[in-house]
Amino acid sequence: MEILMPEPQIYVERTLAIIKPDVIDKEEEIEDLILRSGFHIIQKRKLQLSPEQCSNFYAEQFGKVFFPNLTAYMSSGPIVAMVLARNCAVSYWKELLGPSNSLRARITHPHSLRALFGTDELRNGLHGSLSISSAEREIRFMFPEAILEPIPTGQRARDYLNVYVKPTLLAGLTALCKEKPADPMIWLADWLLEHNPNKPKLQYHISQEE
């Protein structure tokens, strides 16, 4: 009997995360929580937006009563913008953030990031994209040079694995056999991270545009 195996697919999404001005001093702690929650930070940028840039970023909120306060708050100091990647990144990041109102988050989601770092409904500490389409728009806004390609599936996914994944994995397993470490799984994981040919480079720079 022939066993039909499902076609390999790569389930990776990207979403935008922002550490807002009033919790910028908690950057290291927040990043540690992000990484321990299974995300990869593939791009990072520290910058300060002008009120006009904030208005453009939050254009979908234009006309709402809180809009002026929102743009003033987001332009009041430096922010850290990050592109996060993992499977189902948008939904997992929204879940980790919790409700937009930090006061409500402390009651209903006490372990969420907004409950831990936010102050109230406006100053809620962190931003997250609401959908895959908004994530793409927001990533392009914060990282104009970012290349957002569709997730490969089917033959394209197999080609990707053959070209980029299998050669590195084979080299790692060969090195593992030679090294014979006490904990082979941890050793191999560290080796693969160190020798990843597509290892992303984080961007660290502060910019302010008038």
Residue 131 C-beta-side C-alpha neighbours within 13 Å? 2
In terms of Cα–Cα distance, which of 82, 109, 100, 85 is closest to 19? 82
Q: Centre a 10 Å sphere on the Cβ of residue 30 and count the other Cβ atoms it contains.
A: 20
Q: How confident is the model at residue 165 (pLDDT cuts 50, 70, 90)?
A: confident
Q: What was the pLDDT predicted at 123?
A: 94
**Are residues 95 and 191 part of one domain?**
no
Known active-site residue 127:
yes
Q: What are phi and psi of 48, to 5 degrees?
A: -125, 125
**Are residues 50 and 26 part of one domain?**
yes
**Are residues 117 and 20 part of one domain?**
yes
- Please provide the average confidence, as pLDDT, over all residues in the chain: 84
CA 67 to CA 181: how far, in whole Å?
Answer: 57
Number of domains in the chain: 2
Q: What was the pLDDT predicted at 31?
A: 96
pLDDT, tens digit (0-9, with 9 covering 90-100), for 176-204: 898 888 888 888 888 887 877 655 444 44
* Distance set, CA 75 to CA 50, 58, 61, 123, 128 (Å): 5, 12, 16, 12, 17
CATH number for the domain spanning 183: value is 1.20.890
pTM over 0.75: no
Residue 53 is assigned to a structural domain of this protein: yes
Cβ-contact 19, 27 below 8 angstroms: yes
Interhelix angle for 184-194 vs 166-179, to 10°? 130
Residue 81 is assigned to a structural domain of this protein: yes
Strands 13-19 and 126-128, bridge-based pairing = antiparallel
**Are residues 166 and 122 part of one domain?**
no
Q: Where are the alpha helices (DSSP H) in the chain?
A: 27-36, 51-57, 67-74, 89-97, 102-108, 113-117, 132-142, 154-160, 166-179, 184-194
- Calculate ∠ Cα 150-155-160, nearest 5°: 65
**Final residue belonging to a domain, choices 121, 142, 163:** 142
**Are residues 175 and 109 part of one domain?**
no
**Are residues 120 and 159 part of one domain?**
no
Residue 173 is assigned to a structural domain of this protein: yes
Strands 40-47 and 13-19, bridge-based pairing = unpaired
pLDDT, tens digit (0-9, with 9 covering 90-100), for 91-103: 999 999 999 999 9
Query: What is the span of the domain harbouring residue 39?
Result: 14-142
Catalytic entry in 40, 109, 127, 205: 127
**Are residues 137 and 69 part of one domain?**
yes
